[in-house]
Structure 1
């Protein structure tokens, strides 16, 4: 942990040498929500060798970052022709970020605030028990087919969801984004919420943001160990590079460097949620996040992250505590004042195969990460010569100490969901997916996933989940995507029984 903090602090020192490029930074643009299908397009383009810069593990990316990759892919296609399915994806991406692409091509453009998309979803969750609990160590819930959906909880039987995305610029230095959502199901009746809403501006090379939006840190197709989109988008104050910066001098071997900082506001009822069980937590606790990404080459990127849950009513830190927090000393359980997760992740893209992984520790012992969890994955972008078939294989593992804490008794949670991977503590997950791509932004895929949860319990849940996924373009800027799935759940809620869950969803989206 001490080594981790030293590396992160060194990164901030490096930024002092590149602030001279502040006025060359691009205009501020809104971000692309992390659940956008365009992230899959970018991953495919990178693995197929059409990008000159490696996308890093800190999402969301800005519209301008997406546009830079579009320009790289278009230029590369002049000498390396694309298969039709891939060129259709690039064309769709180029249309989505057309104002930013035009700016990069030398035109003066402006992207005003406007409606970007409207989505209408019908979903069916057929299960005797649609939502299950973790062990008392983690005060949250989970459901089959419900992970990584910004904390949305499907109700029993039918669900109807209407969403919209509005974003754009107010002047060249300020962008805003809004994502309202309206939903209905028989468990929750009608509900309306603002899923995301933030304002973004800049100061030199730094982007400054305030509001709530989903973030993911790390590398994983089925989740992220430390920070993912399994929970509701967190309300934060953020500062990060407006785009990755090149480091010169002695540290030029690090290539492009990206830095992210945030302070997040956790719930105001954390103590009430556990008081009935005789446990304790702190209202209005905070979450501090620090991350540095490095991309030395066009085929390799790695990141270092530290996240700390701390503070709250009756749990303030004094000067000595902050000193201990700064260099990572927190190894005495009886004096534990915060909950830390820290570690690193990487992505390495070689011809025909991409490897990725995460290695993180929760809390620490004598300056080094302990209670380790990991993720290892392999992406094969070209099962066939043109890449129209691809495959992902992944596994992840957490120890029995993960996501729980002796001071914050709700655990590593936010609004009834784990902030990291939904598989929870003392768990292991295996995942495999195969996809086939057609022209006109059409694809079909099949995945299988096995999750062994709370393995140290004599009766523990095991979930075998299978899904058929698909997307097709119905017309100009009109898309249909969906999932049909089945899950067999053994010993849900730590009782000896077998549940058979069926799930189906279909979404029509109009993009503008």
Structure 2
């Protein structure tokens, strides 16, 4: 989706190449109260209208869209995102959504954000995204419904004191949430840590680790147990068995001024897996991509693969703690034991307007028998989106 933002106005038109999609038009209009002083409430109204023919399906999952679905037939959705200042240190974000599919209004996002010095505390419902991927992320994305959580982290990048400043600018964040009741062991906890370093203005490296633990029907977790889960040896069987995953991501930005003035090229990579081999990810999945752009044009190609030879449907599955929320995968939308190829082209954009063409091909690599599952969607061999 091509999007340009200037001041408080955003207008978006996008075209998706999809055999089942007849048309979809999205328009976002931003506005603020009065003469738009810096402390004014900011609002963005987004309206989607379209018609979709899903043949025999009543609805189809909508990737990277907060756990949403495409309904069969006519479609209308309106969302209002409001950013409300709370004094000099805080903001409140609210995003109610209306869907014509069920004629209901629900709160997709709603959270308070407080900044003290260079540390932020965030409480409420929001989504997370770990890594440089444009179309997917192996461990943490907005593919599922937003979490009700507590977040703590650095508001802006910072330097460590003394000789440690040579590491470069750093970012850090910690989050804790409780997942839904409707699962094998209700209401487990999900905790995550992420660190990101910028050794230079062209190179970025990120490290992260997430852990699912506890829940109804599982042994209670004491303070010492919590520290063992957070810092101890991962994925140990027994009463403190958890589902732990970790990953690393890299991105490298290359200006192309000498060849193409105003153009830049970014290469990026994410590697993640089960955090069980000496604190290092194993049985890993990979995501890598390339983005070329200038002021008016953009090209992205991205490929992801989480096939583990000899271990069908290994990713996101777990006997106690499957890596899902409200039935949707928390990580990459392609599912378990799959590959995904994404291509996006924005041939032209100007001021407030732009358009883009997207192609996404998913391919399931599993030969598991029917019923083993691709979690949570059926084991189709190939799908174009």
TM over 0.5: yes
Deviation at 1:376, TM superposition (A): 0.7
- The CA distance in 1 between the partners of 2:343 and 2:2, in whole Å, is 21
Change (3 A) 1:338 1:239: same
Look up the match of 1:302: 205
Q: 2:43 aligns with which of 100, 116, 120?
A: 116
Contact 1:331 1:366 (C-alpha < 8 Å) held by counterparts: no
- Looking at secondary structure, tell me which structure has more helix per residue: 1
Structure 1, unaligned stretches of length 5 or more? 1-34, 43-62, 64-94, 103-108, 133-141, 271-280, 461-491, 502-512
Does 2:28 correspond to 1:125?
no
- The CA distance in 2 between the partners of 1:165 and 1:368, in whole Å, is 39
Look up the match of 2:332: 421
- The CA distance in 2 between the partners of 1:194 and 1:341, in whole Å, is 29
Shifted more, 391-400 versus 328-337: the winner is 328-337
- Looking at secondary structure, tell me which structure has more strand per residue: 2
Change (3 A) 1:332 1:299: same
Change (3 A) 1:229 1:494: closer
- The CA distance in 2 between the partners of 1:164 and 1:333, in whole Å, is 46
Q: 1:375 aligns with which of 278, 287, 303?
A: 287
Contact 1:230 1:421 (C-alpha < 8 Å) held by counterparts: yes
Does 2:97 correspond to 1:181?
yes
Report SS of the residue matched to 1:359: strand
Structure 2, unaligned stretches of length 5 or more? 8-29, 257-264, 308-312, 372-376
Contact 2:235 2:243 (C-alpha < 8 Å) held by counterparts: no
Contact 2:363 2:383 (C-alpha < 8 Å) held by counterparts: no
Q: How does 1:266-415 map to 2 (within 5 A)?
A: 266-270=179-183, 281-315=184-218, 316-318=220-222, 321-333=225-237, 337-352=241-256, 353-382=265-294, 388-399=296-307, 400-408=313-321, 411-415=322-326
Report SS of the residue matched to 1:267: coil
Deviation at 1:336, TM superposition (A): 6.2
- The CA distance in 1 between the partners of 2:384 and 2:64, in whole Å, is 21
Contact 1:128 1:499 (C-alpha < 8 Å) held by counterparts: no
- The CA distance in 2 between the partners of 1:495 and 1:246, in whole Å, is 48
- The CA distance in 2 between the partners of 1:495 and 1:393, in whole Å, is 23
Contact 1:362 1:401 (C-alpha < 8 Å) held by counterparts: no
- The CA distance in 1 between the partners of 2:380 and 2:297, in whole Å, is 41
Deviation at 1:215, TM superposition (A): 1.6
Look up the match of 2:148: 235
- What is the aligned residue count? 344
Report SS of the residue matched to 1:253: helix
- The CA distance in 2 between the partners of 1:407 and 1:222, in whole Å, is 29
Shifted more, 313-322 versus 162-171: the winner is 313-322
Contact 1:127 1:500 (C-alpha < 8 Å) held by counterparts: no
Look up the match of 2:10: none
Residues 177-212 of structure 1 deviation map (CA, whole Å, 9 limit, x = unaligned)? 110011112xxx312100111111133321111000
Deviation at 1:360, TM superposition (A): 0.7
- The CA distance in 2 between the partners of 1:268 and 1:284, in whole Å, is 5
- The CA distance in 2 between the partners of 1:257 and 1:500, in whole Å, is 39
Change (3 A) 1:193 1:96: closer
- The CA distance in 1 between the partners of 2:370 and 2:299, in whole Å, is 33
